[in-house]
Structure 1
Amino acid sequence: MLLSGAGDALGYRKQLWELNESGPAIHQELRELGGLKSIKAELPDWPVGADTVLHLATAEGLATGKAGEELLHEVAARYVEGMKDMAGRRPGPSSISGVSQLKPGEEEGFRVPYSAEGTGCGAARRSMCIGLRYPKPDQLLSLVAVAVETGRMTHPHPTGFLGAVASALFTAYAVQRRPITTWGLGLLSEACPIARSFVRGRGFAAEEAERDWDFFCDQWQRYLDSRGLSYGVGPVSWPPTYGPGERDEAYKGFGPSGRAGRGGHNAPMIALDALLGAGADWEELMSRAGFHGGDGCAAIACCCWGLLYGAAGVPDGNHSNLEYRDRLERSAEELYALSR
């Protein structure tokens, strides 16, 4: 939870890097700042972004221990409250629109109408904690159900809410210590079929979701094929040169969304790509997941990385005075207690 927030703040840089379309330019500015080790991620210059505020809303809702529709109303209420804390944080249009339509406490008040526009990355970037609440293989049904329902509170299109499933799933896989090369295959062969059956069974916007379902899975299959991971065994196939400029071009090609990392399909895709390439190197992870053109995906990648490698290799300044550090740590402890 803590490193997810740190990655978000570092990649966001008070909107400056979030809005920068050039990875090489961001890396040049990073060098001028003295490198990642020189950055103290603290207010006023390094606030967390909208991702962390809404991730905390999800986590603190889950930490209440509620279940079923009671949990969904709780999370919806926390999204409404969280949206009051968005000055300077740049929430996405689907998150703004979706939360504005939520009516927690009213019948079906945790649902919003289906929208073909709800394909963005916002749900994916606030759902990692669902994998902390339901980290065990035998909890996959609960993980998928909660990710789908909380994801489509703002992103009712499958491309949007399946991004939430992906982020939650990858977090659970990190807890389970599943080889990273198997994560994408698990998403397509295990979680997505469960999500499809769940949506059909619930009956809400089932026809629309069915009509628009395949794009997410098709883009993920295309990515896995390109990396040699269709069977989950590797070795990973990388381009001969894959620096900041090449990654910018590659990320733009991870499914059409007009901006790298903007879609619910390609935000967790970039995060997984970064995890596959960085290994235990925090600076390399941030280079790949946070410091690129388009929407940074470090909130997702850093959550999984922290579970795999801990915080020992992370410069203290990157997280010691992080905004909302106490809340992030407290919610993590509460989720851990519930998951045991």
Structure 2
Amino acid sequence: MESLTEVIEHHPDLTMSDTVPLEQRYKASMVLSGAGDALGCNHGTWEFENDGVLIHEQVQKRGGLEKLDAIDFPVSDDTVMHLATAEALVKVGEGEGASLPVLYRALVEKYIVSMTDMAGRGAGDLRGSGTGSVDTHHALREGHPACGHRLMEVLDKAKEYVRHSGNCVELNMAHWDYFGIQWKSYLEKRGILDGKSKPQFPDFYGVKERESFYRAVSFKGCGGASGHDAPMIAYDALLRAGDSWVELANHGFFHGGDSDSTAVIAAAWWGALFGFRGVPEINYQRLEYRDRLSKLGERLYKLRGKHLGSLKE
């Protein structure tokens, strides 16, 4: 992970015009995820608002994205949990005798503490966040989010792990295929299942068209509210936006449904790719927990050589 190891071949619209230092991208991934979360939530006003057109109208009435000051937008439960997860990873990574039981215990401890910081943050249930983690890892390592076919490969490996784990195998297998089927369908629709082609979008992909698409790929008509469609919508926004933070927000933050869940993922990926380049400082400079997020990004960067995925039971 110490350098950009591949040129963006599959999605040239995501090519960086210059090399952003890896440490800065770690920090930006953490900080901007919080910024996206806060902006997508807007005190719960925009989160779960069904009318995406209305949200865009309200953003414009406030002067557009470039006028939205982070100090006016507290983070939601998504960032609180993100912080807890990062702190657990850092605690284990910096400690001695790391193992899966140690990691699990650290996660539980941090999550319990995080529950004391949920007042007014719209706390919900935990999601299938593996897709976001996998693609953030690839964005940091290779300079682009994981191509869709790699996700399908990871799903196959994860399925085999669950089968051999002996833990709730029957229950997991009963619902496992839904995620993969939905993602395969999406990747085929965008023409990128082969991992080589450039993503295909409609000639006109405005707010109303996106709203219709997000509802169509969702579980119950609420875009971003489920474990498969939150990262899917975030990925769609990233592919469409390229290196434009404004377009990322238009597609991934401001839409009907669970907008902060898609925003926290999309912004984390964008930061991992581009750092803070082109992001108005007003969107993150006075963000709640900015320093905490930034310092965790720095500590995670220093731990990048330690692969927690190889921890033993």
Match of 1:62 among 77, 81, 89: 89
Q: Contact conserved, 1:219 with 1:255, CA < 8 A, in 2?
A: no
SS at structure 2 position matched to 1:213: helix
Q: Tell me what 2:50 maps to.
A: 21
Residue 279 (1) aligns with residue 245 (2): no
- Taking every aligned residue pair, what percent have the same amino acid on both sides? 42
Q: Contact conserved, 1:289 with 1:301, CA < 8 A, in 2?
A: yes
Q: What is the CA–CA distance in structure 2 between the aligned matches of 1:9 and 1:310, rounded to whole Å?
A: 18
Alignment RMSD: 1.3
Q: Contact conserved, 2:224 with 2:230, CA < 8 A, in 1?
A: yes
Q: Report deviation, 1:313.
A: 0.6
Match of 1:267 among 230, 242, 248: 230
Q: Tell me what 1:243 maps to.
A: 206
Q: What is the CA–CA distance in structure 2 between the aligned matches of 1:331 and 1:309, rounded to whole Å?
A: 18
Q: Report deviation, 1:256.
A: 2.5
SS at structure 2 position matched to 1:197: helix
Listed as ranges, the gaps of 5+ residues in structure 1 are 96-121, 124-160
Match of 1:176 among 135, 141, 149: 141
Q: Contact conserved, 1:216 with 1:265, CA < 8 A, in 2?
A: yes
Q: Tell me what 2:258 maps to.
A: 295
Q: What is the CA–CA distance in structure 2 between the aligned matches of 1:314 and 1:178, rounded to whole Å?
A: 18
Q: What is the CA–CA distance in structure 2 between the aligned matches of 1:13 and 1:275, rounded to whole Å?
A: 21
Q: Tell me what 2:152 maps to.
A: 188
Residue 325 (1) aligns with residue 290 (2): yes
Deviation by residue 1:302-331 (Cα, 9 ceiling, x = unmatched)? 111011111021111100111011110111
Q: Contact conserved, 2:143 with 2:273, CA < 8 A, in 1?
A: no
Listed as ranges, the gaps of 5+ residues in structure 2 are 1-29, 306-313
**Equivalent residues, number:** 269
Which amino acid in structure 1 is aligned with residue 83 of structure 2? L
TM-score, structure 2 length as denominator? 0.83
Distance 1:179 1:327, change over 3 A: closer
SS at structure 2 position matched to 1:253: helix
Q: What is the CA–CA distance in structure 2 between the aligned matches of 1:67 and 1:30, rounded to whole Å?
A: 46
Which amino acid in structure 2 is aligned with residue 36 of structure 1? L
Q: Tell me what 1:313 maps to.
A: 278
Match of 1:213 among 176, 187, 195: 176
TM-score, structure 1 length as denominator? 0.77
Residue 71 (1) aligns with residue 98 (2): no
Q: Tell me what 1:36 maps to.
A: 65
Q: What is the CA–CA distance in structure 2 between the aligned matches of 1:196 and 1:178, rounded to whole Å?
A: 27
Q: What is the CA–CA distance in structure 1 between the aligned matches of 2:104 and 2:219, rounded to whole Å?
A: 31
Q: Report deviation, 1:333.
A: 1.1
Q: Tell me what 1:144 maps to.
A: none
Q: What is the CA–CA distance in structure 1 between the aligned matches of 2:205 and 2:290, rounded to whole Å?
A: 33
SS at structure 1 position matched to 2:217: coil
Q: Contact conserved, 2:42 with 2:74, CA < 8 A, in 1?
A: yes
Q: Tell me what 2:118 maps to.
A: 86
Q: Report deviation, 1:273.
A: 0.2
